[in-house]
Amino acid sequence: MAEIVYPPVVGAALTVFRALDLKIRIEGAENIPRTGGAVLVSNHISYLDFIFAGLAARPAGRLVRFMAKKEVFDHRISGPLMRGMHHIPVDRAAGAAAFGAALKALRDGEVVGVFAEATISRSFTVKEIKNGAVRMAVGAKVPMIPVSLWGTQRLWTKGRPRNLLQRHVPITILVGEPMHPKRGDDYDAVTADLHGRMGEMLDRAQRGYPEIPQGVWWQPRHLGGTAPTPEEAAKLDAAEAAERATRHGA
């Protein structure tokens, strides 16, 4: 497909990152295949994660087609960009269409990006994930590659003001070894394995991060930060979902 929008967007983002002197470290990029389909499954801690997770595939010369909620495509500014980069809209009321579009992209040899937690993790740990990524990889007969991001939450995350012009922020991008789920596997067991790998990689990224201050909002509670615990974050998510349902039902 014609790539008129995606390369200039990536180039612009990299120019900004260089100007801000972001300290981006990518480890494991060799695990991204240079050809053929693959499902890239990332944790989700920032509104900017699709940019940084996409950078994981850049050394392999790949552009990632991310699955993102339909509302992003409806926005007057982000919508044309998302469509121009051939990302995949997800209507939560009709998810089958997005799943079908993702399968087609994978079978056409694309790398499809998935945030399996669905929404941003306020606790900065890996939330519960569903088996959609596994089912996609099996359906398209492609590998599934876990990715863990850390540091992106400092720029822009849920419940915090944007701080996009911060300078010298370290960003860690870890790419795990490919997983090869196949038809007949226990999809829930494979999903649990994926969750475990992502959690281990995120913990490694956090503990190996250049800055591990105590008492800061962007650090998880178990490492001395003030972020909500997973249990507190789940309650906040449930309250937000209930409020959204009430608003849409009004």
Q: CA 79 to CA 67: how far, in whole Å?
A: 13
* Local structure of residue 68 (DSSP, 8 states): E
pLDDT digits (tens, 9 = 90+) for 146-167: 999 999 999 999 999 999 999 9
Q: Are 226 and 124 in contact (CB under 8 A)?
A: no
Distant-in-sequence, close-in-space partners of 8: CB < 8 Å, separation ≥ 6: none
Question: What distance in Å separates the CA atoms of residue 68 and residue 54, rounded to the nearest whole number?
Answer: 13
What CA–CA distance (Å, rounded) separates 150 from 204? 10
Q: Output the CA torsion 197→201→207→208 (10° steps).
A: 150
- State which amino acid sits at residue 60: A
The answer, yes or no, to whether residue 114 has pLDDT greater than 90, is yes
DSSP summary character for residue 3: -
Chain segment 13-59, per-residue pLDDT in tens:
999 999 999 999 999 999 999 999 999 999 999 999 999 999 999 99
Name which of 11-20, 64-73, 241-250 the model is least confident about. 241-250
Strands (E), 110-191: 111-115, 144-150, 170-175
94 Cβ contact list (under 8 Å, min separation 6):
none
Residues 173-207 have pLDDT tens digits of 999 999 999 999 999 999 999 999 999 999 999 99
Torsion angle, alpha carbons of 116, 204, 61, 136, to 10: -20
The rounded distance, in Å, linking the Cα atoms of 20 and 14 is: 10
